[in-house]
Amino acid sequence: MKTLSRIVATFFGAGFFPIAPGTAASGLTALLYYFCLGRLAWPYQILIIVAVFFAGALTATRYARELNRKDPGRIVIDETCGQLISLFLIPPAIKPVALAFFLFRGFDIIKPYPIKKLESLPWGWGIMADDVGAGIAAAIVLRILLIFL
């Protein structure tokens, strides 16, 4: 179970990327959406987001405890979940996917209020929740931008 938790929490090893592992995981997720997931009907997209969230909360908790750290940089399943939320139901085209990527990374890095407060939830819930908040914020701004672009 330790190995499976490590695999999921690091999004199949993306968390071991030596430079900006969260950005790497977000980028991989955006590519996955562009090439595959963006063509799925909305119920399947929701199912994937919910599954990633709960699997992420569980495995992030286990792996963070194993490493004895509250939010280790290796855990990037939270970025995957947040990025998927920002991409939900947008057309799988380069411009909207790229905008979703940059908006999500911006909100995830800056963590404006109240997103920052979500980190205070215990273990995997806090690891996942702030990225869910960043994903929701990015999704809202993206939809507004897409009206004008």
**Does the predicted TM-score (pTM) go above 0.85?**
yes
- C-alpha 45, offset from chain centre: 14
pLDDT at 71: 85
What does the alpha-carbon distance between residue 66 and residue 83 come to, in Å, rounded to a whole number?
25
61 near 7, Cβ under 8 Å?
no
Maximum pairwise Cα distance, the chain: 47
Total residues belonging to the chain:
149
Q: To which residue do tokens 């430079």 refer?
A: 19
**Is the model's pLDDT at 34 over the cut of 90?**
yes
* pLDDT tens digits, one per residue of 95-127: 999 999 999 999 999 999 999 999 899 999 999
Q: To which residue do tokens 């495995």 refer?
A: 59
* pLDDT over 90 percentage in the chain: 92
